[in-house]
């Protein structure tokens, strides 16, 4: 393993140290999705794409330290990542806090795991109209 200098690469070192935990968390989150909704909905894909973005960031922080590049280089990378996440927020943040139909506040479990972004009542009504 090459030597790592936290003082020379404060940002890259921070990312290198903590991003693996984020990646692990996202993948566990992704697996928990299976419990609540079958298949790959858009929210499950969101956590997966997020994990890919974080893995890329981790790789770049590693490369910066490996090839002794300036730690400043990580800043445009982080900025670019932020811009991509913002522009593609429908892909990365498909979560809604209120029911799309009746605007009722959604419980946490539905915000995080259900793709429909509907409350239980509205979803049941939609199922009824669909089955007719």
| Footprint on this chain of Zn ion (rule: CB under 5 A) | 99, 101-102, 104, 119, 122
Least separation in angstroms between residue 99's CB and Zn ion is 3
Least separation in angstroms between residue 58's CB and Zn ion is 39
Least separation in angstroms between residue 116's CB and Zn ion is 10
Question: Strand, coil or helix: what is 104?
Answer: coil
Nearer to Zn ion, 37 or 81 (CB): 37
Nearer to Zn ion, 87 or 102 (CB): 102
Q: Quick count: other Cβ atoms within 10 Å of Cβ 119?
A: 21
| Token code pair at residue 48 | 């997966």
| Token code pair at residue 14 | 């921070």
d(CA 101, CA 125): 11
Instruction: Report yes or no: 16 and 54 within 8 Å, Cβ to Cβ.
Output: no
Least separation in angstroms between residue 47's CB and Zn ion is 24
Nearer to Zn ion, 15 or 119 (CB): 119
Nearer to Zn ion, 75 or 104 (CB): 104
Picking from 87, 52, 51, 69, the residue whose alpha carbon sits closest to that of residue 12 is 69
């Amino acid at each position: 393993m090459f030597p790592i200098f936290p003082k020379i690469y404060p940002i890259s070192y921070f990312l290198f140290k903590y991003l693996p935990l984020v990646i692990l968390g996202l993948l566990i989150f992704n697996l928990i999705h299976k419990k609540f909704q079958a298949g790959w909905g858009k929210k499950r894909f969101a956590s997966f794409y997020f994990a890919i973005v974080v893995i890329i960031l981790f790789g770049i922080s590693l490369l910066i330290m490996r090839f002794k590049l300036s730690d400043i280089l990580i800043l445009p990378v982080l900025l670019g990542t932020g811009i991509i996440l913002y522009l593609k927020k429908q892909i990365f943040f498909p979560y809604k806090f209120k029911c799309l139909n009746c605007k009722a506040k959604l419980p946490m479990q539905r915000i995080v795991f259900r793709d429909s972004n509907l409350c239980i009542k509205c979803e049941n009504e939609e199922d009824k109209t669909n089955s007719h």
